[in-house]
């Protein structure tokens, strides 16, 4: 990371300087023009790798601490082909699998086709103004569960077991909803 400011011993540091450092720490800044001029400065970045394979028709919590509603997200998803290929596993030399990149919007959270909580057999659906979910790959959904404390979840409806998937997710809150 590049240095944002240089200070000397016993120099007074103001709250404005500290706030500026926090806003710029990941290099994302809000612009004064365009539809997203209200976006929060800064960016949230997480790296997540499942500790186990994820069976089809399974819901997995990715983040149960941070609220991801109203975030534009960019992702890199690594679906590995072999067993024990997670980092630290006995075959982590084959860690790189099929990588998918994308961009999406998490909105206010997802509902299933019946307008209720996403559940096994009832994947999230996208519906204008009422339900938002990000399609990471065919039938693999990332969504905010608005019925479960706004946890960020992954719904595997691919028909296949996912080998210890890895997800690098970065996002910026838009302040639009």
User: Is 32 a domain residue?
Assistant: no
Domains held by the chain: number: 1
- What pTM was estimated for this model as a whole? 0.83
The Cα 160–Cα 170 span in angstroms is 26
User: Is 109 a domain residue?
Assistant: yes
Q: For residue 92, which phi and psi values (nearest 5 degrees)?
A: -70, -5
The pLDDT assigned to 1 comes to 44
The Cα 26–Cα 170 span in angstroms is 10
| pLDDT band with cut points at 50, 70 and 90 for residue 22 | confident
Instruction: For residue 155, give its domain range.
Output: 43-173
pLDDT in tens, 119-131: 999 999 999 999 9
The Cα 137–Cα 162 span in angstroms is 12
pLDDT in tens, 138-163: 999 999 999 999 999 999 999 999 99
The pLDDT assigned to 143 comes to 98
User: Is 20 a domain residue?
Assistant: no
User: Is 89 a domain residue?
Assistant: yes
- Say if CB 167 and CB 75 are below 8 A apart: yes
The pLDDT assigned to 27 comes to 60
User: Is 59 a domain residue?
Assistant: yes
3-state SS, the chain, equals CCCCCCCCCCCCCCHHHHHHHHHHCCCCCCCCCCCCCCCCCCCEEEEEECCCCECCCEEEEEECCCCCCCEEEEEEEEEECCCCCCCCCCCHHHCCCEEEEEEEECCCCEEECCCCCCECCECEECECCCECCEEEECCEEEEEECCCCCEEEEEECCCCCEEEEEEEEEEEECCCC
User: Is 3 a domain residue?
Assistant: no
**Average pLDDT of span 111-117:** 96
User: Is 10 a domain residue?
Assistant: no
User: Is 6 a domain residue?
Assistant: no
Report percent pLDDT > 70 for the chain: 93
């Amino acid at each position: 990371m590049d240095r944002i400011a240089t200070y000397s011993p016993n120099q007074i540091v103001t709250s404005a300087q500290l706030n500026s450092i926090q806003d710029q720490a990941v290099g994302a800044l809000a612009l004064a023009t365009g539809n997203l001029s209200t976006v929060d400065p800064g960016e949230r970045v997480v790296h997540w790798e499942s500790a186990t394979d994820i069976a089809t028709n399974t819901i997995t919590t990715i983040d149960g601490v941070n609220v991801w509603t109203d975030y534009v997200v960019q992702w890199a998803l690594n679906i590995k082909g072999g067993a024990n290929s997670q980092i630290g596993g006995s075959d982590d030399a084959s860690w790189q699998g099929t990588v998918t990149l994308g961009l999406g919007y998490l909105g206010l959270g997802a509902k299933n086709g019946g307008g209720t909580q996403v559940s096994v057999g009832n994947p999230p659906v996208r519906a204008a103004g009422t339900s938002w979910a990000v399609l990471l790959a065919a039938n693999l959904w990332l969504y905010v569960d608005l019925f479960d404390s706004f946890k960020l979840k992954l719904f595997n409806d691919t028909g296949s077991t996912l080998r210890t998937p890895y997800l690098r997710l970065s996002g910026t809150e838009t302040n639009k909803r």
